Structure 1
Amino acid sequence: MKIQEIMSSKVETISPDASTKVAARTMHDLHIGSLPVVSADGELMGIITDRDICCKVVATGRDAGWTKVHEVMRKDITTCFDDQEIDDAAELMASQHIRRLAILNRNNSMSGFLSVDDLARGSYDLAGTVLEASTPVH
């Protein structure tokens, strides 16, 4: 099964110049934990998560209204192509210990997002493998 068959193709994105306050409000309103950061020309630049805002802005006393997304986003985003097999995505997610994966088309434009929930719709076994690998051990 191809990634494009199960991924979420309607993905909310955010500009690198938006404030982290806007990013936090967007995530809160949409009940999501991350936003792909996309430039005006559609290039995927990184990702910002609720944890990034908590640890890099709030916990350090920075003003979320003035701190820009590009200042705290992660640029080392892991991606797959939408025409790859879901097994490839699950293996990558498990090896990188991540629960969300940005999906690109072959023009390197943002095509969608793949989460563990999406994987579960395609294969419970694959979703279980990713969850097991991405759950921190205390």
Structure 2
Amino acid sequence: MDISSAMHKSVDWADADTPVSEIARMMKTDDVGAIPVGKDDRLIGMITDRDIAVRVVAEGRDPKKVTAEKAMTPGIIYCQTHQSVEDAIHLMEQRQIRRLPVLDENKRMVGMLSLGDISHAVARELAGEAIRSVSAHHS
């Protein structure tokens, strides 16, 4: 199955200079734990609820002053629309990540693929394997 058949097609993203307080509001409104971050119309990273907790709140930084770019996980791990869901699962397992931005052939974000999306798109055994691998405790 192609990723484009399983992914969520509507995805919000935040500009790199968006304050973390606004990112948290976006997460609450959309009921998500990660927001893609872009700069100059390109995806540059992801900011997660964990990034906010660890890099902003735990360090006593002001979420109204810290930008997404300063708190996000730098770099981007992604999949492309032409790949299979199985390819995405292997990437998620290797990197222990729960969601992947989906890029088209022009490297433009067109969706997001999550473990939840995968659980609805593939056989139960494969979905279970993916969830176990991605959720494995760090050694």
Is the shorter-chain TM-score for this pair beyond 0.5, marking a shared fold? yes
Deviation at 1:52, TM superposition (A): 0.3
Deviation at 1:115, TM superposition (A): 0.3
Residues 61-103 of structure 1: CA deviation (Å, up to 9, x unaligned):
0000000111111122211101111110011111111110111
Aligned partner of 2:5 in structure 1 is: 5
Q: Which amino acid aligns with 1:51?
A: R
Is the Cα contact below 8 Å between 1:120 and 1:127 reproduced in 2? yes
Aligned partner of 1:35 in structure 2 is: 35
Q: Is 1:76 matched with 2:75?
A: yes
Unaligned runs of 5+ residues in structure 1 are none
Aligned partner of 2:121 in structure 1 is: 122
- Cα RMSD (Å) of the superposition? 1.2
Aligned partner of 2:102 in structure 1 is: 103
Residues 34-78 of structure 1: CA deviation (Å, up to 9, x unaligned):
00002242x111000010000000000000000011111112221
Is the Cα contact below 8 Å between 1:99 and 1:130 reproduced in 2? no
Is the Cα contact below 8 Å between 1:97 and 1:130 reproduced in 2? no
Deviation at 1:128, TM superposition (A): 1.2
Unaligned runs of 5+ residues in structure 2 are none
Deviation at 1:125, TM superposition (A): 2.5
Distance in 1, matches of 2:136 and 2:84, equals: 26
Q: How many residues align?
A: 137
Residues 1-40 of structure 1: CA deviation (Å, up to 9, x unaligned):
1000010010011110000000011101211000000224
Residues 103-122 of structure 1: CA deviation (Å, up to 9, x unaligned):
10010111111001110111
Give the TM-score taking structure 1 as reference length. Answer: 0.94
Q: Which stretch has the larger CA shift, 75-84 or 11-20?
A: 75-84
Distance in 1, matches of 2:34 and 2:126, equals: 22
User: Alignment partner of 2:112: what SS?
Assistant: strand
